[in-house]
């Protein structure tokens, strides 16, 4: 007989509506929590503000990703077609004035690398892909993809306190508050 | 997020500019426009300042017209798009768009000089040629001028075609199914009426809702329906207007992207005007709770999108012409890459696209009032450069041709202060534009206070 070991993930509180979730999130934000998250079946405009999230750093990555794509294209097209092996097409010059012919390549590679940076940057910032999430241990959490809204506060947060956090979630309008434990 | 806007924040009867506001400005602008317009008509149509002034001022006038017509047509487009897509975000700025768009019927008055053959002769070589051919045929013996050979909307008569070929205008004779005076005047009437009716109706739906005791969603649906057939009218108007008035400055030139090129620049400039107007009203203390940074963020994004779209279209046009290297097409760019115009072309490449593209990238560039205002003004200057680049390089060659100045410099005509005329014409039409914009703003509420989605728009976040 093996003994099951469980690890506490944190509190999960259910909210009936999006506006209750919104107001609850503002209270949790004001209580100074950092390691917590909201879950809803659909995107909520303005929730990032209610959660006190800062702007994502993703745009900077994308800008430099696009810049790298642009420079690659310039080097690839201009370097090969003008500098290394000047290619004369339809008696057009092979010099700086040829650059108009390379614009489609610059455009495409800028877009391509910006797109890649966006996709992989988003995945990396979200910590995806992952095989499992501790919240999946909760039965009621399945409703997060249907009609219920949730706030989960992790036990790793330095402000976490077994009684006070539960009271805070209750005061914020949460119901069915559950201490989620995952088996390891 | 701060304070949520509720229906308690909407004053009864809506918010309106008081009658005393901008009275002096309106008076000054109206006066300049009136005096300038009368003087311009005297110069253009009645040849008061002499032949040379008339010739060069025709181009100045067309430049000013092109600049402000594109802006007001763009204003109509934003209204149409907003209604058509059933948007909620922009309800609080929709009235500003409607007011910018509704300048169109008024600013169209300034195009009246284009109807005069004396002005057309300086601008459109094909019209002169057609008139010469027609009068030559009329004076010759009447053998061709039987009834079945009469010219009309679908082209000039066979006799005139024959005469045009004789005069070495074979290309014009081949294009006469589109380029003929009857069709040109019919299209002029279409430009004058079509879009004017569209924007008048849309603004009326919107304005009537403000005072209705029982404001339902009925008018929104009607506006949506009217926008569905208004969009094709706008597309036809701006495409054929740009072909008729701008492209045929050189009737031998071919380009299949002309309409969308002018359209792209027009939308960017009109969004800049909408943003500037909204910012100005906010700085004056109006629209305070209803237009937030979020609205400016979205409008800035749209403007940024059309900075890119303009570059996309204008580069596509350039590259296709450059690559295929056909003389009938390259002449447009050959002219604009010669002498001083080369620098203006490069100003457009870097100033109309590269610089504003980077300047508008950060999110705060669309939200910070002063920075954003500067960019909008800058983009309007670039739009003026764009229109100047379209129209003015043709002035030298055309006028030298008309005046038989074989030894004169082809591109610039020396000893002539044409640029003063460009500025005066621009100031005249600009004053007219501002006069009618202020008139539109003052005549109605500043935002649709009884629109069902006004609160959604005011509390919007993106």
Give chain A's end-to-end CA distance (angstroms, integer): 16
Does the residue A99 lie in any domain? yes
When the pLDDT of each residue in chain A is averaged and rounded to a whole number, the result is: 88
Q: What confidence score (pLDDT) does residue B287 get?
A: 87
What span, in angstroms and rounded, lies between the C-alpha atoms of B295 and B82?
13
Q: Examine the domain organization and report whether A48 and A135 are in the same domain.
A: yes
Q: Examine the domain organization and report whether A109 and A148 are in the same domain.
A: no
Does the residue A1 lie in any domain? no
Q: Which residue of B has its CA nearest to A55?
A: B363
Q: Which residues contact B142 (CB under 8 A, 6 or more apart)?
A: none
Chain A contact for B342 (CB, 8 A cutoff): no
Domain of residue A103 covers: 58-126
Q: Examine the domain organization and report whether A72 and A91 are in the same domain.
A: yes
Does the residue A166 lie in any domain? yes
Q: Examine the domain organization and report whether A119 and A73 are in the same domain.
A: yes
Q: Examine the domain organization and report whether A62 and A120 are in the same domain.
A: yes
Grouping H, G, I as helix, E, B as strand and the rest as coil, residue A181 is strand
Q: Examine the domain organization and report whether A145 and A166 are in the same domain.
A: yes
Q: What DSSP assignment string belongs to B229-258?
A: HHHHHHHHHHHHHHHHHTGGGGTT---SSH
| Cβ(B298)–Cβ(B89) below 8 Å | yes
Q: Examine the domain organization and report whether A150 and A135 are in the same domain.
A: yes
Q: Is pLDDT of B46 > 60?
A: yes
- Maximum CA extent, chain A: 84
Q: How confident is the model at residue B69 (pLDDT cuts 50, 70, 90)?
A: very high
Give me the residue from B319, B363, B461 closest to A46, CB to CB.
B461
Higher pLDDT, B1 or A126: A126
| Cβ(A97)–Cβ(A76) below 8 Å | no
Q: Which residues contact A55 (CB under 8 A, 6 or more apart)?
A: B363
What's the CATH code of the domain at A28? 3.30.70
Residues 43-82 of A with CB under 8 A from B: 45-46, 49-50, 55, 59, 63
pLDDT digits (tens, 9 = 90+) for B110-152: 999 999 999 999 999 999 998 888 888 877 756 555 544 557 7
Query: Positive or negative, the Cα torsion across A16, A18, A23, A26?
Result: positive
Counted domains in chain A = 2
pLDDT digits (tens, 9 = 90+) for B291-331: 999 999 999 999 999 999 999 999 999 999 988 888 889 99
What span, in angstroms and rounded, lies between the C-alpha atoms of B154 and B193?
21
User: Measuring CA to CA, which residue among B351, B389, B456, B313 is closest to residue B6?
Assistant: B456
CB contact under 8 A, A45 and B462: yes
| Cβ(B309)–Cβ(B316) below 8 Å | no
Q: What confidence score (pLDDT) does residue B387 get?
A: 95
CB contact under 8 A, A103 and B319: yes
Task: Determine which of A6-15, B157-166, B184-193 has the lowest per-residue pLDDT on average.
Answer: B157-166
Q: What confidence score (pLDDT) does residue B1 get?
A: 45
pTM of the model: 0.89
CA distances to A22, A129, B291, B361 from A49, rounded to whole Å, are: 10, 26, 19, 22
The partner residues of A152 in beta bridges, in order of sequence, read A12, A37
CB contact under 8 A, A101 and B323: yes
Q: Is pLDDT of B7 > 90?
A: no
Q: Examine the domain organization and report whether A38 and A64 are in the same domain.
A: no
Any long-range contacts for B317-320 (C-beta under 8 Å, 24+ apart)?
B317/B255, B317/B257, B317/B258, B317/B261, B318/A100, B319/A100, B319/A101, B319/A103, B319/A104, B320/B257
Residues 293-322 of B with CB under 8 A from A: 315, 318-319, 322
Q: Examine the domain organization and report whether A62 and A105 are in the same domain.
A: yes
Distance from CA of B253 to the nearest CA of A (A): 21
Return the exposure string of B205-222: e unless at least 16 CB atoms fall within 10 Å of the residue's CB, then b: bbbebbeeeebeeebbee
Phi, psi of B400 (to 5 degrees): -60, -40
Q: Examine the domain organization and report whether A121 and A166 are in the same domain.
A: no
Query: Average pLDDT in the A91-113 region?
Result: 89
| Cβ(B111)–Cβ(B244) below 8 Å | no
CB contact under 8 A, A49 and B361: no
Q: What confidence score (pLDDT) does residue A1 get?
A: 60
Query: Positive or negative, the Cα torsion across B88, B90, B94, B97?
Result: negative
Does the residue A69 lie in any domain? yes
Residue A19: list chain B partners with CB under 8 A.
none
Q: Which of B3, B304, B322 to mutate to test the interface with A (most CBs of A within 10 A)?
A: B322
Phi, psi of B273 (to 5 degrees): -70, -40
Q: Is pLDDT of B159 > 90?
A: no
Residue A90: list chain B partners with CB under 8 A.
323, 325
């Amino acid at each position: 007989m093996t003994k099951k070991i469980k690890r506490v993930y944190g509190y999960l509180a259910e909210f009936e509506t999006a506006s209750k979730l919104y107001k609850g999130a503002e209270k949790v934000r004001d209580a100074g929590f950092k390691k917590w998250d909201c879950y809803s079946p659909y995107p909520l405009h303005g929730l990032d503000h209610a959660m006190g999230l800062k702007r994502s750093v993703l745009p900077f990555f994308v800008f430099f990703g696009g810049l790298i794509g642009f420079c690659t294209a310039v080097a690839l097209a201009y370097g090969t077609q003008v500098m290394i092996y000047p290619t004369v097409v339809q008696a057009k010059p092979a010099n700086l004035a040829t650059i108009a012919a390379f614009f489609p390549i610059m455009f495409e590679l800028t877009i391509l690398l910006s797109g890649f940076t966006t996709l992989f940057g988003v995945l990396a910032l979200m910590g995806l892909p992952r095989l499992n999430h501790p919240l999946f241990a909760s039965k009621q959490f399945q409703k997060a993809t249907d009609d219920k809204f949730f706030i989960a506060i992790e036990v790793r947060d330095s402000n976490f306190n077994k009684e006070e956090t539960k009271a805070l979630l209750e005061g914020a309008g949460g119901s069915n508050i559950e201490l989620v434990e995952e088996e390891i | 997020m701060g304070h949520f806007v509720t229906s308690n924040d909407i004053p009864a009867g809506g918010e309106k500019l008081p009658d005393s506001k901008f009275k002096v400005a309106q008076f000054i602008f109206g006066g300049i426009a009136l005096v300038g317009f009368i003087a311009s008509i005297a110069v253009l149509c009645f040849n008061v300042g002499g032949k040379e002034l008339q010739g060069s001022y025709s181009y100045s006038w067309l430049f000013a017209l092109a600049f402000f017509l594109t802006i007001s047509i763009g204003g109509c487009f934003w209204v149409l798009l907003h209604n058509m897509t059933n948007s909620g975000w922009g309800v609080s700025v929709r009235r500003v768009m409607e007011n910018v768009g509704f300048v169109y019927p008024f600013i169209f008055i300034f195009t009246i000089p284009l109807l005069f053959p004396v002005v057309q002769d300086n601008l459109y070589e094909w019209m002169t040629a057609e008139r010469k051919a027609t009068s030559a045929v009329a004076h010759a013996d009447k053998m061709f001028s039987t009834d079945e050979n009469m010219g009309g909307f679908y082209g000039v008569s066979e006799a005139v075609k024959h005469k045009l070929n004789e005069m070495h205008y074979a290309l014009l004779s081949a294009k006469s199914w589109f380029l003929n005076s009857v069709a040109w005047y019919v299209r002029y009437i279409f430009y004058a009426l079509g879009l004017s009716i569209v924007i008048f109706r849309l603004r009326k739906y919107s304005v009537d809702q403000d005072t209705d005791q029982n404001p339902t969603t009925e008018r929104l649906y009607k506006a949506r329906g009217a926008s569905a057939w208004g969009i094709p009218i706008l597309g036809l108007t701006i495409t054929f207007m740009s072909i008729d008035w701008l492209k045929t400055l050189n009737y031998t030139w071919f380009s299949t992207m002309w309409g969308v090129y002018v359209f792209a620049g027009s939308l960017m400039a009109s969004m800049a005007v909408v943003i500037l107007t909204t910012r100005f009203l906010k700085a004056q203390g109006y629209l305070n709770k209803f237009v937030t940074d979020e609205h400016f963020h979205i409008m800035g994004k749209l403007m940024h999108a059309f900075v890119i779209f303009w570059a996309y279209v204008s580069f596509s046009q350039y590259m296709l012409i450059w690559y295929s290297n056909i003389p009938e097409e390259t002449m447009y760019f050959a002219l604009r890459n010669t002498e001083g115009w080369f620098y203006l072309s490069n100003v457009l490449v870097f100033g109309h696209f590269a610089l504003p593209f980077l300047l508008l990238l950060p999110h705060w560039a669309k939200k910070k009032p002063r920075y954003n205002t500067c960019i909008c003004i800058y983009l309007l200057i670039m739009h003026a450069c764009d229109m100047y680049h379209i129209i003015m390089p043709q002035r030298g060659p055309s006028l030298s041709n008309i005046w038989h100045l074989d030894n004169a410099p082809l591109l610039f005509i020396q000893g002539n202060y044409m640029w003063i005329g460009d500025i005066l014409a621009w100031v005249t039409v600009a004053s007219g534009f501002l006069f009618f914009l202020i008139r539109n703003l003052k005549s109605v509420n500043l935002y649709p206070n009884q629109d069902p989605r006004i609160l959604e728009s005011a509390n919007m976040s993106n």
